């Protein structure tokens, strides 16, 4: 009954590779987010989608491309991985117009670049 | 620029002692303020919102607009309170909840027996 689930939980890969992280939520939310948590535990928004439309796009290299096939999914594709991409990536979701507006987070995907 | 600051990276207290985790914000307008908590090996989860003025697990947080602070307090810390705590702020956008959360750097609370 996991609310926001991300796969994979761990991802170890070499520099230069392309990889994807998937996120799904079963809360009926219409807004989804990707956050990056660096080695100092600092959390920063990367992207947000509302009803499959991009509404927040922070200063993120264009090697990062989010894709939202439907309201319940927001995937993150990363091209040409670099050492600095090593981090924990969190997916989150919320309802734009109802409830508390609190964001519900996934467990995170720990990406390690060798 | 919008900013949330948590000046303490680590706060270590003994069980039963009072706890105050500091949070200051720099925002234009009147943002919504939140506290999120991440227990060991668990996901980040909402602890408190300033709008609801609630007490969760004995924690309270009062918004002080004059000091632009939203400190998290608990009168008697428990060992199970040990976790990473994040203060976060979001622009109010009418009735929409789609604004991005700006997080502070996080404070690790360590409650010793």
Q: What's the CATH code of the domain at B68?
A: 2.60.40.10
Say if residues A86 and A38 touch (Cβ distance below 8 Å): no
> Residues B36-47: pLDDT tens digits?
999 988 889 999
Angstroms from B111 CA to nearest CA on chain A: 20
> Residues A58-110: pLDDT tens digits?
878 889 999 999 999 999 999 999 999 999 999 999 987 766 678 899 999 99
Q: How far apart are the first and last CA of chain B?
A: 41
The span from the CA of B43 to the CA of A48, in Å, is: 19
Domain of residue B11: give its range.
3-112
Residue A25 has pLDDT above 70, yes or no: yes
Q: Which of A40, A58, A94 comes nearest B97 by C-beta? A: A94
Which of the four pLDDT bands, split at 50, 70 and 90, describes residue B97? low
Domain of residue A90: give its range.
4-113
- Tell me what pLDDT residue A95 has: 85
Residue A1 has pLDDT above 70, yes or no: no
Query: How far is C-alpha A69 from the chain's CA centre?
Result: 14
- Tell me what pLDDT residue A99 has: 63
Structural domains of chain B, count: 1
Least trusted range by pLDDT, from B32-41, B42-51, B96-105? B96-105
List residues of chain A with CB under 8 Å from any CB of chain B. 4, 31, 33, 35, 40-45, 48, 50, 55-56, 58, 90, 92, 94-97, 99-108
The span from the CA of B30 to the CA of A110, in Å, is: 34
Q: Which helix (H) or strand (E) holds B86?
A: strand B83-90
Q: List CB contacts (< 8 A) between A4 and chain B.
A: 43
Structural domains of chain A, count: 1
Residue B94 has pLDDT above 70, yes or no: no
Mean pLDDT of chain A: 90
- Tell me what pLDDT residue A113 has: 95
Q: Which of A56, A100, A106 comes nearest B43 by C-beta? A: A106
Residue A23 has pLDDT above 70, yes or no: yes
How many other β-carbons are positioned within 10 Å of the β-carbon of residue A76? 22
Q: B24 — phi, psi (to 5°)?
A: -125, 150
Which of the four pLDDT bands, split at 50, 70 and 90, describes residue B7? very high
More confident call, B96 vs B23: B23
- Closest CA relative to residue A106, chosen from A46, A13, A24, A10: A24
- Closest CA relative to residue A92, chosen from A112, A107, A77: A107
Which of the four pLDDT bands, split at 50, 70 and 90, describes residue B91? confident
Q: What's the CATH code of the domain at A92?
A: 2.60.40.10
């Amino acid at each position: 009954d996991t609310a926001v689930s991300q796969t994979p939980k761990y991802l170890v890969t070499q520099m230069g590779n392309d990889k994807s992280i998937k996120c799904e939520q079963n809360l009926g939310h219409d807004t989804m987010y990707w956050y990056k948590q660096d080695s100092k535990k600092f959390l920063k928004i990367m992207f947000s989608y509302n009803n499959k439309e991009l509404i927040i796009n922070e200063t993120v290299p264009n090697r990062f491309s989010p894709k939202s096939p439907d309201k319940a999914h927001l995937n993150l594709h990363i091209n040409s991985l670099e050492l600095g991409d090593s981090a924990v990536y969190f997916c989150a979701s919320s309802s734009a117009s109802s409830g508390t507006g609190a964001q519900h987070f996934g467990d995170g995907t720990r990406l390690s670049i060798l | 620029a919008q900013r949330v600051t948590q000046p303490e990276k680590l706060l270590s207290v003994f069980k039963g002692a009072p706890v105050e985790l500091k949070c200051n914000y720099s925002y234009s307008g009147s943002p919504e303020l939140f506290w999120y908590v991440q227990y060991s090996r668990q996901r980040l989860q909402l602890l408190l919102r300033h709008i609801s003025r609630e007490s969760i697990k004995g924690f309270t947080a009062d918004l002080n607009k004059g000091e632009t602070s939203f400190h998290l307090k608990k009168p008697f810390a428990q060992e199970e309170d040990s976790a990473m705590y994040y203060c976060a702020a979001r622009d109010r956008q009418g009735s929409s909840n789609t604004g991005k959360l700006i997080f502070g750097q996080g404070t690790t609370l360590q409650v010793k027996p």
